[in-house]
Amino acid sequence: MWQPLPERVQQAGKGKPMFKEFKEFIARGNVIDLAVGIIIGAAFTAIVNSLVADLINPIIGLLTGGTDFSGHYLVLKGEVPPGASLQVARDSGASVFAYGAFLSAVINFLIVAWAVFLLVKAVNKVQSAAIRKKEAEAAAPAGPTQEELLMEIRDELRARSV
């Protein structure tokens, strides 16, 4: 049989206001980090979408002779006028196998994944360079202290006076 933990019973008995609990929840570092990640992710999505639509897709269009895969489909059931676009085929109520739209989505995904990979790789490179710099600074041999230098001078002076 389930029994509540004693500390939970004590907390429940305190009658902690909901606003205070919410404030503690929001103040946790993980929640704030998550919120920042989502906001930056949304901004980064706009950049990546522009990269794909405005820079990379035109280059792919040049390489493939201007072929736009997103309009390619097969009619599974129904009547579609010859040469109709995918949207017209869908609007006519026909059942279509839109392999071109899927292929375009896969290509866009691969481009976005590649851009994210390059970004993460660059960030990791910068981070590892910063870590190596800190390690090099920490590992640098410390010179003699002032007291050690004074003791060496004292010992040298004693050796000369003898």
pLDDT in tens, 22-63: 888 777 777 778 888 899 888 888 887 787 778 877 887 788
Across residues 114-136, what is the average pLDDT? 86
Question: What is the rounded CA–CA span in Å between residue 145 and residue 147?
Answer: 5
Question: Is residue 140 scored above 70 in pLDDT?
Answer: no
pLDDT in tens, 67-98: 677 788 888 898 888 888 888 888 888 888 98
Sign of CA dihedral 51, 62, 68, 117: negative
Across residues 151-161, what is the average pLDDT? 90
pLDDT for 9 equals 47
For residue 82, give Cα distances in angstroms to 54, 71, 79, 87, 88. Answer: 31, 13, 9, 13, 11
Whose CA is closest to 115, among 57, 37, 62? 57
Question: What is the rounded CA–CA span in Å between residue 54 and residue 93?
Answer: 32
